Amino acid sequence: MSASQKSRAKEPEIIDTTGDPELSDNHSDSEGEDQEDHKLASAPSTSTSQKKKKKKKSKAKKLLNAIRGNDEIPQEVVDQVLDKVKAEGGPGSSEANAENVRLALQEMNIMDVVKGKAGVGGLNKKDLGEHKFWGTQPVPQLGEGPPIEDGYIEPSKPREEVRQEPYPLPRDFEWSTLDISDPIQNREVYDLLSLNYIEDDHASFRFQYSAEFLAWALQPPGYHREWHIGVRVSSNKKLVAFISGVPMTLRVRQHVIHVSEINYLCVHKKLRSKRLAPVLIKEVTRQCHLKGIFQAIYTAGIVIPTPITVCRYYHRLLNIPKLVNTRFCFVPRNMTLARMIRVNKPPAAITLPGLREMQEKDIVAVAQLLTEYMKRFTMVPLFNVDEARHQFLSGMGTGEIGNGGPNRREKQVTFSYVVEDPETGKITDFFSFYSLPSTVIGNATYPILEAAYLYYYATDTGLQGGEDSERLVKKRLYALIGDAIIIANEAGFDVFNALTLMDNVTVLQDLKFGLGDGFLNFYLYNWRTMPLAGMNDEGNVPAGKGVGVVML
């Protein structure tokens, strides 16, 4: 019996102890807390430090009560959080002070905490009803300790044992396979996502996935049309829900697994009560099974069972007047707009000699460089040459640079650059970013926010090892990503975004990225692994270096 099977056998018990909220809160808060602690102590767990957890929970509860009860946040709570932030020492923790902690707490509204977006002290380990579905799925359950070794949760099945018929839908709805290469169907997905895909908490911005973005994101080499799944209203064929998967080869620690990258789950606003999401997830899982794929990777802003890591968004502000006007950011108390513009002005010219746009002839060198560089991280995609071509070259748009706005092509989604050594002609570095605009809700002056997202990059600096290599990598990345910011600025982007993954953490502060309010949780389906270093260090792995996957 493997380790993963062993912990699977324990699962029903674990669900029971974390799953029934009514057990623990009958009377007053304090009584509820006692009972919960008792329950926690008797719960079977592979975790080693129950005491620590308990302490964390009651802290978190005080915090929550404070947030829910009134606007004033007690100094005690602020102090506790501040201590915790300093102790964990994540990126930016040196900037933490009582004032910004208090603010952060105020800004976290009730629903953020409930949904676990903000992830305060383990609070999101609560069953909120939604987790009932995840309790039936082969994912590590909340409260279950870290696995002893990596592996699947449910074994793969031969094709004939996979359910052959689609899952039933509510009356009046039907399944539909979408063909993203067909402009009409692509447009249907675009319309559904742009009107119903997730907004930020205050509903100020909404992702705007363009047709060319979807074509790029959903049709990598070897993609399966059957994994682009829609739900239509039977009577008028209107598309009301969507989910997609694309194939990816993923290395998680020493294991290489073929996974489906699940994304763009979207249900029409008016149909949210029909609980279509679980059946969409089941159906895409079934379609993956039919192709012999039994693992998946996906990300979400919220916490569900069970993240393998969480990353935080950072933002390099470029078009300050527009970002302030759209309330993407605010003028700090100690500045004027004029000073903010000056402080954030990117350098006028790129710094690396030999930097140029990537071309077809570079693709083999880039694929090799990337493969080599990605060995630095714990969980990474493995791209062959065709896949690298798709990821970095297929989205470069059509026609001449400049016909799709300043310094960009029409329909350009990806921006990929290489550094060619002027003497040897060797490709020594590479970076890419992609364009994903957001609609600014209710702003007539600036309807669209142009955002660039840092994608994959690599350098041969430091690959030889040696004790100074990390410092050299950091220095090189400062120049490389610094140039990416300059190019994005010249191409008319308003903001340049990055997550706390890969080696980003080492250069974010120096390159004037500011802390974002968004988090991204990473999940694996039917695969257990120990937590990865994302926003925070994990064991001796520094923050970011656990994650080498950039999800679109």
Q: Which of residues 56-75 bind other proteins (CB under 8 A)?
A: 61, 64, 68, 71
The reply to whether 110 sits near other proteins by the rule CB under 8 A is: yes
* Rounded Cα–Cα distance for residues 228 and 218 (Å): 8
Return the residues of window 424-443 that contact other proteins according to CB under 8 A.
438, 441-442
Binding segment toward other proteins, per CB under 8 A, in 74-82, 99-107, 184-192, 472-480:
99-107
Is 233 a binding residue for other proteins by CB under 8 A? The answer is: no
For 32, the token pair is 């509820």
Alpha helix locations (H) across 136-253?
183-196, 211-218
Q: State which of residues 21, 44, 292, 399 lies at the interface with other proteins (CB under 8 A).
A: 21
Contact flag: residue 195 with other proteins (CB under 8 A) = no
Whether omega before 306 lies within 30 degrees of 0, making that bond cis, reads: yes
The residue within the footprint of other proteins, chosen from 73, 78, 218, 262 (CB under 8 A), is: 262
Task: Kindly state whether residue 126 participates in binding other proteins, applying the rule CB under 8 A.
Answer: yes
User: By CB under 8 A, is residue 136 in contact with other proteins?
Assistant: no
| Selection from 480, 248, 212 nearest residue 369 by Cα | 480
Pair 374, 550: CB distance under 8 Å: no
Give the three-class secondary structure for 248.
Answer: strand
Q: Which residues pair with 313 in a beta bridge?
A: 499
CB 268 within 8 A of CB 277: no
CB 309 within 8 A of CB 300: no
| Mode of pairing for the β-strands spanning 295-300 and 495-499 | unpaired
Ramachandran class of 89: left when φ > 0, alpha when ψ lies in -120 to 50, beta otherwise = left
Stretch that binds other proteins, among 149-157, 199-207, 384-392, 424-432 (CB under 8 A): 199-207
Instruction: With contacts defined by CB under 8 A, name the span among 182-190, 365-373, 400-408, 512-520 that binds other proteins.
Output: 512-520
CB 339 → other proteins: shortest distance, Å? Answer: 6
Nearer to other proteins, 197 or 223 (CB): 197
Q: Bridge-partner residues for 416, per DSSP?
A: 432
Q: Which is nearer to other proteins, 126 or 390 (CB)?
A: 126
Q: Which two tokens stand for residue 54?
A: 């308990």
Nearest distance in Å: CB 120, other proteins: 12
Position 213 contacts other proteins (CB under 8 A): no
552 catalytic per annotation: yes
| Contact flag: residue 79 with other proteins (CB under 8 A) | no
Tell me the DSSP string of 115-135.
Answer: HTSS--TTTT-S--STHHHHH
Per CB under 8 A, the list member of 277, 352, 448, 541 interacting with other proteins is 277
Q: Which of 113, 350, 396, 418 binds other proteins (CB under 8 A)?
A: 113
- Nearer Cβ to other proteins, position 29 or 357? 29
Q: Is 341 in the site for other proteins (CB under 8 A)?
A: yes
Q: Is 180 or 311 the residue whose CB approaches other proteins more closely?
A: 311
Is residue 107 at the binding interface for other proteins, with CB under 8 A as the rule? yes
Binding of other proteins by 37 (CB under 8 A): no
Take residue 330 and report the two structure tokens written for it: 């605010």
Nearer to other proteins, 205 or 430 (CB): 205
Between the alpha carbon of residue 187 and those of residues 165, 210, 230, 314, the distances in Å are 28, 9, 13, 31
> Can you tell me the distance from the alpha carbon of 155 to that of 527, in angstroms, rounded to the nearest whole number?
10
Please identify which residue in 145, 151, 221, 278 interacts with other proteins, judged by CB under 8 A.
Answer: 278
Residue 263: which H helix or E strand, with range?
Answer: strand 255-267
Interacting positions 291-320 with other proteins (CB under 8 A): 298-302, 304, 313, 315, 317
Q: Are 372 and 463 in contact (CB under 8 A)?
A: yes
Q: Please tell me whether residue 8 binds other proteins under the rule CB under 8 A.
A: no
Does 518 engage in binding with other proteins (CB under 8 A)?
A: yes
In 10 A of CB 327, how many CB atoms?
A: 12
Cβ-based burial of 242 (10 A; exposed 0-12, middle 13-18, buried ≥19): buried
Distance of closest approach, residue 246 Cβ to other proteins, in angstroms: 15
In the complex with other proteins, the residue whose CB is nearer, 252 or 300, is: 300
Q: With b meaning 16 or more CB within 10 Å and e meaning fewer, what string describes 406-445?
A: ebbbebbbbbbbbbbeeeeeebbbbbbbbbbbbbbeebee
User: How long a stretch of residues is the chain?
Assistant: 552
In the set 51, 171, 333, 361, which binds other proteins (CB under 8 A)?
333
Give the shortest CB-32-to-other proteins separation in angstroms: 5
Q: Is there binding between residue 129 and other proteins (CB under 8 A)?
A: yes
CB of 65 to other proteins, least distance (A): 9
Q: Binding residues for other proteins, how many (CB under 8 A)?
A: 90
Q: Which residues are catalytic?
A: 552
